[in-house]
Amino acid sequence: MSGTVGIVQPSYIPWAGFFDLIRQSDVWVWYDDVQYTKRDWRNRNKIKSPQGIEWLTIPVASKGNYHQTIDEMEISTPWTDRHRRSLELNYRRAPHFGEMAPEIFALYQIASQQSRLSRINRLFIEGISRLLGIGTPLKWSRDYQVEGSKTDRLLSICVAAGAGRYLSGPSARAYLDVQKFASAGIAVEWMDYQGYPVYPQLYGSFEHGVSIVDLLFNTGKAAPQYMRSFRR
């Protein structure tokens, strides 16, 4: 293949940069058979409100489950109605809420029937990718024979997927052994999350790191214009 492979841990309604990484990949690997981390992006994200930043958090049964993987994490209590109400309360005056809310809320209806966090996150990311016109094929990490941990595990996936380039988030610089990738003939490229354009946004000063739903409700079908991979 010799294409670009992105390997991403699932997040709940992530920000625009997450979707840019997906769009720049020829294959996107859903990396959910690794340990779940608390107080992370796996089950929560930020939106704007008149009072400032507000967190939307999916309740998960994580107490005592210190070694569960992301794909094993289960929902603990009903949550979708509360998240829908929060989005409506905070975004009903956004210019494109009426256009985008039916699409987004339909995902919440399906999510209410799901019991696993990873399945819910995949549902939202695939649905929002369609709204953004992103068609990168998705593979489960467990579709590949992997071995080792961290660098070796990621490298195994890239080799199995036929990667010529591995596109990674910048936080992996702390542990990724780039030389191992080079020895396997795979170039490593780091996502650059600087320079994202601002867009019309509710409630005071602009916030870059909020969920993609903020961009969709405020800009509608023009959302891709504010994503770097579409502007290239």
Radius of gyration of the chain (CA): 18
Q: What is the pLDDT of residue 66?
A: 65
User: Is the overall model pTM greater than 0.85, yes or no?
Assistant: yes
Contact in structure between 5 and 160 (CB atoms under 8 Å): no
Q: Total domain count for the chain?
A: 1
- Of residues 232 and 19, the one with the higher pLDDT is 19
What are the tens digits of pLDDT across the range 94-144? 999 999 999 999 999 999 999 999 999 999 999 999 999 999 999 999 888
Q: What is the pLDDT of residue 130?
A: 96
Mean per-residue pLDDT, 204-230: 92
What are the tens digits of pLDDT across the range 62-79? 877 768 999 999 999 999
Give 27's strand partners.
Answer: 5
Structural domain of 40 = 3-231
What are the tens digits of pLDDT across the range 17-38? 999 999 999 999 999 999 998 8
Q: What is the pLDDT of residue 78?
A: 97
Whether 232 shows a pLDDT value over 60: the answer reads no
Mean per-residue pLDDT, 208-225: 96
Contact in structure between 214 and 50 (CB atoms under 8 Å): no
Confidence of residue 229 (pLDDT cuts 50, 70, 90): low
DSSP letters along 169-221, please? -GGGGGT--HHHHHHTT-EEEE-----PPP---SSSS--SSS-HHHHHHHHGG
Nearest alpha-carbon partner for 71 in 156, 22, 10, 129: 10
What are the tens digits of pLDDT across the range 130-185? 999 999 999 999 888 887 878 999 999 999 999 999 999 998 888 899 999 999 99
